[in-house]
Structures are given as C-alpha cells and as structure tokens.
Amino acid sequence: MSMIIDHVSYIYGEGTPLARKALSDININIPDGQFVGIIGHTGSGKSTLMQHLNGLLKATEGHIYFNGEDIYDADYDMKKLRGKVGLVFQYPEHQLFEIDVFSDVCFGPKNLGLEKKEVELRAYDALRKVGLPEELYYQSPFELSGGQKRRVAIAGVLAMKPEMLILDEPTAGLDPKGRDEILGQIKKLQAQTGMTILLVSHSMEDVAEYVDRIIVMNQGTVMMDDTPREVFRHYRELEEVGLAAPQVTYIMHALKEKGLDVDVDVTTIEEAAAELVRVLK
C-alpha cells in the first residue's frame, strides 16, 4: 500500500503558445506511514506535484499508482481517491465558511454521503486530533485566532479519514509557538495513526525537526531524495537552488573549520547541543 509516482511529467497549457513544462520525469515511491518533507524554491514544481497526488491535475505523461491501482485508469474512482488523499492548501482558513466550527468540519464527510451520526463522530474525532479546545466547537470559525482557524481547516480534511495527508505550507504566517503546535500535533497524529504525511515547507528548520525524508524539487525535477542529515549535508548545492540548511548546520560547519571535532551532519538544536556538550565537556 503506497503512492508510486512513475515517470510523471506535466506541461501547463499544452498545445498552446504558452505551454510550459512544470514537471519532468518525476519518480517517487512513498511507502505507508512516512513523514516526508518537500522543499524547493517558489516555482520549483512542489505545489504542481502535490496537486497530481489527489488528481486535481492529470499528468501529461507517466502514471501514478495509489495502493497498487493506476489512478488514470478509465474506471478508477477519482472521488474515492480524493477521500483517501487529503490536500490542505496554503492559507486553508480562507476556505472556512460555515456558521460554526463543528458544521465546517462536518462539511467534508457529509459530502461523502455518510449518515449523520458517522459524520458527527468523525468531526469530533478530527477536532480532537488537531487539539482544538472543545469550548470553541460551536463558535464562528471567523472569531478564532490564525492558528486555531488553520487547525479547523486541517480537521475538515482529517474528517474525511484520509490515508495520506498533504499539507502545503501549513505554518505560513503563524507565530513561532503556533508553528510548533501545528507541526507537533501533525507529528503526533502520524505516530498514532500511521498516516502518511507530505509536508511542503519553506522552513528548513521545521523540515529538519519533523520529517523522516526530504524531497528537494528544482526546476520541475527531483534534485535530492534522502534523509534530512544527507540532504542538509549538501547545503552548498541547496543554496545554489535558492534554499538553505537550518542555521544549526552552518554553526556546526563554522565550528569544524575552527578545528573543533564536531559531527557537522546534525540537523536540530537538540542534536547540536548534545554533540557540543560531548565535545566540550
């Protein structure tokens, strides 16, 4: 059970004078239960690729297999796919519209044609999973803080009970605590349910902290696909494509240059602190 992206290419406006190749020959295999980070500069093809995974865009060439089935088969049920692969767009709180939080979260499962009891059960469950305080369930979503609104939006997707959750920059515009809360909650969710998570992010620090695997996109291709340690080891190459490593990587390299015998491949503050204590004490 997994998502296999097999030689996928995509051309925007194919057959028109404005045709532009956005993805070229992408090959990725995502097994169940992984927490994958997708990084790349603006326009590198990250969001285009994500929109392929739940069938919003159809590859110009290549195939996508979800749980062993080709999603481009004539008899494949796209509606079912969209229930299984949940996509949370950037600034998802702009899509809230119901009169209270609970009704908003019910909207997705209700459209799946489930009966009322099941819909409500799922909505409760999803809201609990994103850690929203119960006293807010019957408030207007528009009266919540930025971080709370975003959680409601994520709960709306979770209530569909997806097997795979794709989050496109879920923390943009949130304060540091809000960033930690949302990502911490997602990590917990992944650990508890074994859900596959794809996190598109511009924050190298966040990616280093939370994911098992990083896919680096550049000019519509996969430039690197490895563990955070391995990917950030190539920080010079990342800089060339408009990215960077977490600040801690630069700190460790600077210390190494000064002759301190530290492991330069640590990617989080915690690891760096432990490493420096080891060397300095």
Partner 1 sequence: MGIIRTEDIVFEYIRRDEEGNVEGITKAVDNVSIDIKQGQFIAILGHNGSGKSTLAKHMNAILNPTEGTVWVDGMDTNDGEQLWNIRQTAGMVFQNPDNQIIGQVVEEDVGFGPENMGIPTKEIWQRVEESLRAVGMYEFRKASPNKLSGGQKQRVSIAGVLAMHPKCIVLDEPTAMLDPNGRREVIRALRGLNQVEGVTVILITHYMEEIIHADKVFVMDQGKIAMDGTPREIFSQVEKLKSLRLDVPQVTLLAYELQKEGIPLPNGILTIEELVEALEKRTVGNRVIVG
Structure token digits, residue 209: 């902290």
Contact 154, 88 (CB under 8 A): yes
265 binds partner 1 (CB under 8 A): no
254 binds partner 1 (CB under 8 A): yes
List the Cα angle 9/11/17 in 5-degree steps. Answer: 155
Query: What 3-state DSSP class applies to 41?
Result: coil
| Least distance between partner 1 and beta carbon 210 (Å) | 15
133 binds partner 1 (CB under 8 A): no
Cα(20)–Cα(4) distance, integer angstroms: 24
78 binds partner 1 (CB under 8 A): no
State which residue, 78 or 254, has the beta carbon closest to partner 1. 254
- Contact pattern for partner 1 over residues 226 through 245, marking x by CB under 8 A: ----------------xxx-
| Least distance between partner 1 and beta carbon 212 (Å) | 21
19 binds partner 1 (CB under 8 A): no
74 binds partner 1 (CB under 8 A): no
Q: Using CB under 8 A, which residues numbered 86 to 105 contact partner 1?
A: 90
204 binds partner 1 (CB under 8 A): yes
173 binds partner 1 (CB under 8 A): yes
Candidates 29-37, 215-223, 224-232, 264-272; binding stretch for partner 1 (CB under 8 A)? 264-272
| Residue 217 Ramachandran class (φ > 0 left, ψ -120 to 50 alpha, else beta) | beta
State which residue, 55 or 220, has the beta carbon closest to partner 1. 220
Cα(49)–Cα(9) distance, integer angstroms: 9
Distances (CA, A) of 237 to 20, 122, 231, 250, 255: 25, 44, 9, 14, 20
CA-nearest of 150, 164, 214, 194 to 55 is 164
131 binds partner 1 (CB under 8 A): no
State which residue, 23 or 119, has the beta carbon closest to partner 1. 23
Binding site for partner 1 (CB under 8 A): 40-43, 90, 145-147, 169, 172-179, 202, 204-205, 242-244, 246-248, 250-251, 254-255, 258-261, 269-270, 272-273, 276-277, 279-281
